């Protein structure tokens, strides 16, 4: 059911941008700003604590960006994006009927976005479905990732792809193995196979993607199966097709 009071969180690293949103909201007494944050880490905490109905979110921020923040939110609110980068806003969100504000914007444009957000708030299933479409749109367009964000309890870890030894399939999740730890993330092997740097990572088995630089040697087990001995002492299975890919690249 549509709520009379709408709880909102603002996440933007520019104080002027946050002040502008607050100014435009001053005539909307039904919208309560429960917290404003200047980075993605604090924004994630605020969302978890307040469970807002509406999120005003910048995209390019230090530490973790707006996309990465959304990846970590289990129960996402309706989002109005506020960004200076039209390539992110228009291409990634307008096609998916998501609301965005391209900086600088005036109050009339702000009111249009707010109207769109109100409509989504009336739809019981709108927010979750819309965020899922947004993330899928981002994944479809993004060519190469350079880092991965993972949330463990209340702590956020930012993993550089250079620190990854291998990735292992775990049902609906993957386990990302690094030299220091391993991290569970809800995503698919297909996604990582497509978006990790192709010169650095190979899917050596249907359940394993490995950093080429971490392979010490390949040993044959049978005619059609192999194992990769890694520099950290571990070994992972290599399929016949995976072995062919390794031979081609190495």
Mean pLDDT, all residues of the chain: 87
pLDDT of residue 135: 63
pLDDT of residue 130: 59
> 92-143 pLDDT, tens per residue?
454 343 577 888 999 999 999 999 888 888 875 555 555 655 665 555 556 7
The mean per-residue pLDDT over the stretch 141-151 comes to: 84
pLDDT band at 169 (very low <50, low <70, confident <90, very high): very high
Q: Is the pLDDT of residue 87 over 80?
A: no
pLDDT of residue 105: 92
Q: Is the pLDDT of residue 225 over 80?
A: yes
Q: What φ, ψ does residue 70 adopt, rounded to 5°?
A: -65, -35
What pTM does this model have? 0.78
pLDDT of residue 143: 73
Strand segments, DSSP code E, in the chain are 6-11, 31-37, 54-57, 78-83, 99-102, 147-152, 155-160, 164-170, 173-178, 182-185, 201-205, 208-211, 215-220, 226-230, 235-238
pLDDT band at 22 (very low <50, low <70, confident <90, very high): very high
The mean per-residue pLDDT over the stretch 165-173 comes to: 94
User: 91 or 18: which carries more pLDDT confidence?
Assistant: 18
> 188-202 pLDDT, tens per residue?
999 999 999 999 999
CB 54 within 8 A of CB 2: no
Strand segments, DSSP code E, in 31-160 are 31-37, 54-57, 78-83, 99-102, 147-152, 155-160
Burial class (CB in 10 A: 0-12, 13-18, 19+), 153: exposed
The mean per-residue pLDDT over the stretch 202-227 comes to: 93
pLDDT band at 2 (very low <50, low <70, confident <90, very high): very low
pLDDT band at 84 (very low <50, low <70, confident <90, very high): confident
- Determine the Cα–Cα distance for residues 73 and 225; give it in Å rounded to an integer: 40
The mean per-residue pLDDT over the stretch 151-175 comes to: 93
Q: Which of 195, 233, 237 is nearest to 218 (CA)?
A: 237
């Amino acid at each position: 059911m549509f709520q009379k009071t709408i709880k909102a969180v603002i996440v933007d690293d520019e104080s002027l941008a946050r002040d502008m949103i607050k100014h435009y909201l001053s005539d909307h007494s039904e919208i309560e700003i429960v917290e404003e944050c200047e980075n993605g880490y604090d924004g994630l905490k605020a969302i978890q604590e307040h469970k807002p109905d509406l999120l005003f979110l910048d995209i390019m921020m230090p530490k973790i960006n707006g996309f990465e923040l959304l990846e970590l939110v289990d129960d996402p609110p309706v989002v109005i994006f506020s960004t200076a980068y039209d390539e992110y806003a228009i291409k990634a969100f307008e096609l998916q009927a998501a609301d965005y504000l391209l900086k600088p914007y005036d109050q009339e444009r702000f009111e249009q976005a707010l109207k769109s957000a109100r409509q989504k708030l009336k739809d019981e299933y709108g927010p979750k479905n819309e965020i899922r479409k947004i993330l899928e749109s981002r994944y479809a367009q993004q060519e190469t990732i350079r880092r991965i964000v993972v949330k463990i309890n209340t702590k956020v870890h930012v993993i550089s792809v250079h620190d990854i030894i291998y990735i292992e399939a775990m049902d609906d999740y993957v386990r990302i193995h690094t030299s220091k730890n391993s991290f569970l993330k809800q995503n698919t092997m297909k996604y990582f196979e497509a978006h990790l740097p192709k010169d650095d990572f190979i899917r050596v088995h249907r359940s394993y993607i490995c950093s080429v630089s971490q392979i010490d040697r390949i040993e044959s087990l049978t005619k059609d199966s192999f194992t990769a001995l890694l520099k950290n002492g571990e070994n992972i299975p290599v399929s016949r097709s995976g072995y062919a890919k390794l031979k081609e690249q190495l």
